């Protein structure tokens, strides 16, 4: 985790300790498909409507899929979702990308598919307005990512025994269930949140993204998360559902030496040797499990009234005087400490 908030590392570690004491976390990957949503335009609504009908037809789906798939060994078109606004048509391509996060790979395939549509499908009057028409949606809040997913869709769950909730988390099961309902569910609904039904998923996602060479701007959609807590026979059942985690283990920042070392430490460096995509999918599972730990610990601190005290104790240090020299690794003004 790469973060300037030192106590975040300690808090997430505490959540991991509680999860491990309960037997570990379970993760289920429910979807794997990166998206790109170009915008194309026509002079009349009649032609725009005809394009949408063709794209939604069996012939259109087959033609676009064959064109797209011909551009890569790994990118495979799964679905196309279309929408129309006046004379503009938006096409949301969802595709596999192997172990790459895949935006460049998809953009290449989309450009070729649109070229085939224009030159071979009778839509030579089509104007390609933008290869990205914000129907993807990349690096911006959007309900479509929350509902339809983008990148990897993962659910993580753990069951924390009652005694572990008390001894490690300094709380109790019913208090945590009520806090989660009132804060993460009702409170977020009162605020009109989209995908923000959690305590601080963005903290953990961003810290892991920075450490492993992911695109930090994609934390916008990758942090979509709903946290659910239940009292299960006296124990705490906690889960996080994250429909749009966007990660890769090859390309981009993953090639930087420190970030590459972190991926190696996690056992997911580079392309999977036998099943392309497995390393990226495993990294998404790791992100979700880490978010689970972070949610568990922060909510426990809130329920016990320990949040402010913990920050004051662990995330602050005295400002050194002119005559003193900070010890190596000690935090300066602002309280950052290396971990």
Q: Please pick, among 5, 221, 246, 295, the residue that the annotation labels catalytic.
A: 5
Neighbouring-strand partners of residue 41: 88, 127
Answer whether residue 334 is part of any domain.
no
Q: Please pick, among 52, 108, 230, 311, the residue that the annotation labels catalytic.
A: 311
Residues 21 and 165 grouped into a single domain: yes
- Domain of residue 217 covers 6-32+151-313
Q: What is the CATH number of the domain that holds 62?
A: 3.30.70.420
* Per-residue model confidence as pLDDT tens for the chain (339 residues): 999 988 999 999 999 999 999 999 999 999 999 999 999 999 999 999 999 999 999 999 999 999 999 999 999 999 999 999 999 999 999 999 999 999 999 999 999 999 999 999 999 999 999 999 999 999 999 999 999 999 999 999 999 999 999 999 999 999 999 999 999 999 999 999 999 999 999 999 999 999 999 999 999 999 999 999 999 999 999 999 999 999 999 999 999 999 999 999 999 999 999 999 999 999 999 999 999 999 999 999 999 986 556 555 656 555 555 544 444 443 433 433 333
Residues 23 and 109 grouped into a single domain: no
Residues 282 and 161 grouped into a single domain: yes
Residues 175 and 271 grouped into a single domain: yes
Query: Is 215 a residue of the active site?
Result: yes
Answer whether residue 326 is part of any domain.
no
Q: Please pick, among 108, 170, 215, 278, the residue that the annotation labels catalytic.
A: 215
Query: Is 5 a residue of the active site?
Result: yes
Q: Please pick, among 81, 139, 183, 306, the residue that the annotation labels catalytic.
A: 139
Answer whether residue 140 is part of any domain.
no
Answer whether residue 104 is part of any domain.
yes
Residues 124 and 177 grouped into a single domain: no
Answer whether residue 322 is part of any domain.
no
Query: Is 233 a residue of the active site?
Result: no
Residues 20 and 53 grouped into a single domain: no
- Domain count for the chain: 2
Answer whether residue 332 is part of any domain.
no
Residues 283 and 297 grouped into a single domain: yes
Residues 200 and 268 grouped into a single domain: yes
* Residue 321 token pair: 């005087």
Residues 112 and 169 grouped into a single domain: no
Answer whether residue 282 is part of any domain.
yes
Q: What is the CATH number of the domain that holds 183?
A: 3.90.770.10
User: Which residues have a Cβ under 8 Å from the Cβ of 277 and sit 6 or more positions away?
Assistant: 32, 74, 96, 97, 98, 99
Q: According to DSSP H, which parts of the chain are helical? A: 6-21, 45-56, 58-69, 103-120, 143-148, 162-167, 173-179, 188-190, 201-212, 219-222, 257-266, 278-304, 307-314
Residues 185 and 87 grouped into a single domain: no
Residues 63 and 182 grouped into a single domain: no
Number of neighbouring beta carbons within 10 Å of residue 169? 24
Answer whether residue 325 is part of any domain.
no
Residues 171 and 292 grouped into a single domain: yes
Whether the pTM exceeds 0.85: the reply is yes
């Amino acid at each position: 985790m790469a973060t300037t908030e030192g106590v975040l590392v300690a808090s997430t570690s505490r959540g991991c300790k509680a999860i491990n004491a309960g037997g570990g976390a379970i993760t289920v990957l429910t979807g794997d498909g990166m998206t790109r949503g170009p915008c194309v335009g026509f002079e009349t609504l009649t032609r725009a409507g005809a394009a949408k009908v063709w794209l939604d037809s069996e012939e259109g789906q087959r033609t676009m899929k064959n064109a797209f798939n011909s551009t890569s060994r790994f990118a495979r078109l799964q679905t196309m979702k279309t929408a129309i606004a006046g004379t503009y048509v938006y096409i949301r391509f969802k595709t596999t990308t192997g172990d790459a996060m895949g935006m460049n790979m998809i953009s290449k395939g989309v450009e070729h598919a649109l070229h085939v549509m224009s030159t071979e499908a009778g839509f030579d009057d089509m104007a390609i307005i933008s290869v990205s028409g914000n129907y993807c949606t990349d690096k911006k809040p959007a309900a479509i990512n929350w509902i339809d997913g983008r990148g990897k869709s993962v659910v993580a769950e753990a069951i924390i025994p009652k005694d572990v909730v008390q001894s490690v988390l300094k709380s109790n099961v019913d208090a945590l269930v009520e806090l989660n309902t009132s804060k993460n569910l009702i409170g977020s609904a009162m605020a009109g949140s989209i995908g923000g039904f959690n305590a601080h998923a963005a903290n953990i996602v961003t810290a892991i993204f920075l450490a492993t060479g992911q695109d930090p701007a994609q934390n916008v959609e990758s942090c979509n998360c709903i946290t659910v807590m239940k009292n299960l026979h006296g124990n705490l059942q906690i889960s996080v559902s994250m429909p749009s985690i966007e990660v890769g283990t090859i390309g981009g920042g993953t090639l930087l030496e420190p970030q590459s070392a972190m991926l190696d430490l996690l056992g997911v460096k580079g392309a999977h040797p036998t099943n392309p995509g497995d390393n990226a999918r495993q990294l998404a599972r790791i992100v979700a499990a880490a978010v689970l730990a972070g949610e568990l610990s922060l909510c426990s601190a809130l329920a016990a009234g320990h949040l402010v005290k913990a920050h004051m104790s662990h995330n602050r240090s005295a400002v050194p005087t002119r005559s003193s020299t900070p010890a190596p690794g000690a935090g300066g003004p602002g309280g950052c400490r290396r971990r």
